[in-house]
Structure 1
């Protein structure tokens, strides 16, 4: 059984400019999909990758809007996905991504996912990031 959703948060964020009133379930699923793809080698275009990163932005923005029981229900799953993303990516303080997407507006502490790139650089994304100075990174011990 999936943890609970709160449609009010999605409505508020839709009113702030998100293209629709997403649910927590939808955005956790999108974040999980991106994490899994990054772990296996993200081959799509840089614009698609940065678009996919916004699923984590949505969760970040929704967090302050969600009631406590919803936060408790989802917190462990999101932390697990965040940990997997950190393990599958390398920190470069956003140097490579900033060549393609304006990331300076994202708080470096709160929106840490914008300051990392996949460790495995393959396909179109890999070529783009390498052109911006990214290198394949070994896994952390």
Structure 2
């Protein structure tokens, strides 16, 4: 299926997700915007995450949280179209990240977590030595600068 096969109800479901999730995500970004944000973050992680923005890393993952919450609101046709692209980006994100070290949390909790992307960190970073890395980013990522 491609976008040319979507009907008005499919687009309406994307609008509905945008409105329903607006309060939870402090605004009403579009499905397209959130898909693009996830893609941009994945590309940045693949190229080497700039640790100037290290403390915003988990906030940047909110676009993937939004997509996770939006999928059940979408029509099956829109879900199928989005899910295929999300799965491609997820695979690239997994390849460019490693599992974060659990701090004060039993390992068994990680496997039950449905937002797995928060439990990973970039393996390649553009890092200023003066910026401390989070303790959960262990072993330390490879520096490119």
TM-score between the two structures when normalised by the length of structure 2? 0.74
Instruction: Work out whether 1:54 is the aligned partner of 2:62.
Output: yes
Contact 1:27 1:58 (8 Å CA) reproduced: yes
**Which residue of the partner structure matches residue 88 of structure 1?**
96
SS across alignment from 2:125:
coil
Larger Rg: 2
> Which residue in the other structure is 1:19 paired with?
26
- Three-state SS of the structure 1 residue aligned to 2:28 is coil
Pairs within 5 Å for 1:1-141: 3=3, 5=11, 6-15=14-23, 17-43=24-50, 44-93=52-101, 95=103, 108-123=112-127, 127-129=131-133, 134=138, 135-136=140-141
Q: Is the 8 A contact 2:99 2:120 kept in 1?
A: yes
Distance of aligned partners of 1:61 and 1:110 in 2 relative to their CA distance in 1, 3 Å threshold = same
What SS class does the counterpart of residue 64 from structure 1 fall into? helix
- State the alpha-carbon separation in 1 of the partners of residues 130 and 97 from structure 2: 12
Q: Indicate conservation of the 8 Å contact 1:7/1:21, yes or no.
A: no
* Unmatched 5+ stretches in structure 2: none
Question: RMSD between aligned alpha carbons?
Answer: 3.0
Note if contact 2:100-2:137 (Cα within 8 Å) is conserved in structure 1: no
SS at match of 1:90: strand
- TM score, norm. by length of structure 1: 0.76
Aligned with 1:19: secondary structure? coil
> Normalized per residue, which structure has more strand?
2
